[in-house]
Structures are given as structure tokens and as C-alpha cells.
């Protein structure tokens, strides 16, 4: 979907980089919305919560805070346990999606600077190759 520039390609212009950031932000928001829908549906089904309470509990677990309401039965507790594990992995994935373009740009920039320095050493009269 979003291709990153290769090792020896020039750094992406800022306007295209910002578009990449927005694209990754949209992907992260889609993942968050889908994850919240899973949580809300599960809480409404297993814990018999209304929409607002289910949304609150799903949001709190997805954000890493934990459930708000006491769960009424074992089925709801099993769901909350599975959803908490799912949410932990989802949270880490979202962080990765959001930071990937920034980290790639930093590493790419660092590599380009290193490559430029190596080129300068070969051309400098003080750094002759044997």
C-alpha cells in the first residue's frame, strides 16, 4: 500500500512524507474503530451492557486502563480476558503503524549522511585510499 524509499534513493520530500503520515494515521484509526466495535459488541453480548457502558469498557481496555464495570458472569469475564490480550497486541501494532514513517525517515536520513561522509572521504586530498 505505502511503499518506502529504498536504501540508495533520495529522502522523500516533506509534502509526500506528510501524506504518508496521514495515511498511516488513517490506518491506525481504522484499526482502533474495528477494535472498538469488537469490544462493544462483546460487552453488549456477553455482559448485557448498554452501548455507552460497553463503549466505555472497550475504550478503557483498548487504552490499557482496564474495565470500569464489574462483569456479571463467567462468559463476560472470558471475553474481557481475551479482549484485553487482543487490545495489548493491537495497541502495540497501532504504535508501530504511527511511528514507522518517522523512524524510517530518521534511519534513512542517517544512512544518507553516512553515505555522503564516505563519499567525501574518498574525494578529500587528506583521505587518500592506499
The whole domain housing 21 covers: 14-122
Residue 8 predicted with pLDDT over 80 = no
Q: Is residue 130 part of a domain?
A: no
pLDDT in tens, 67-123: 888 889 999 999 999 999 999 999 999 998 888 888 877 877 776 555 555 554 555
Q: Is residue 28 part of a domain?
A: yes
Q: Comparing 2 with 85, which gets the higher pLDDT?
A: 85
Q: Which pLDDT does position 2 carry in this prediction?
A: 59
Q: Is residue 113 part of a domain?
A: yes
Q: Is residue 9 part of a domain?
A: no
Distances (CA, A) of 130 to 64, 114, 116: 59, 21, 20
Half-sphere exposure of 111 (CA within 13 A, CB side): 13
- How far is the C-alpha of 92 from the C-alpha of 77, rounded, in Å? 23
Q: Which pLDDT does position 17 carry in this prediction?
A: 81
Give me the CATH number covering residue 70: 1.10.287
Q: Comparing 36 with 6, which gets the higher pLDDT?
A: 36
Q: Is residue 95 part of a domain?
A: yes
Largest CA distance in the chain: 79
pLDDT in tens, 9-67: 767 778 888 888 898 899 999 999 999 999 999 999 999 999 999 999 999 999 888 88
Structurally, the chain folds into a number of domains equal to 1
CA dihedral 80, 81, 84, 85 (to 10 degrees): -150
Q: Is residue 71 part of a domain?
A: yes
Amino acid at each position: 500500500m505505502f511503499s518506502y524509499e529504498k536504501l540508495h534513493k533520495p529522502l522523500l520530500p516533506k509534502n509526500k512524507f506528510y501524506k504518508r503520515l496521514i495515511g498511516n494515521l488513517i490506518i491506525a484509526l481504522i484499526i482502533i474503530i474495528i477494535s472498538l466495535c469488537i469490544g462493544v459488541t462483546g460487552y453488549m453480548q456477553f455482559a448485557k451492557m448498554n452501548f455507552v457502558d460497553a463503549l466505555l469498557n472497550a475504550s478503557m481496555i483498548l487504552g490499557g486502563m482496564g474495565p470500569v464495570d464489574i462483569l456479571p458472569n463467567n462468559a463476560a469475564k472470558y471475553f474481557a480476558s481475551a479482549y484485553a490480550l487482543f487490545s495489548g497486541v493491537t495497541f502495540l501494532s497501532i504504535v508501530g503503524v504511527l511511528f514507522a514513517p518517522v523512524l524510517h525517515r530518521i534511519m534513512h536520513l542517517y544512512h544518507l549522511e553516512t553515505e555522503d561522509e564516505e563519499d567525501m572521504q574518498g574525494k578529500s586530498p587528506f583521505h587518500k585510499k592506499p
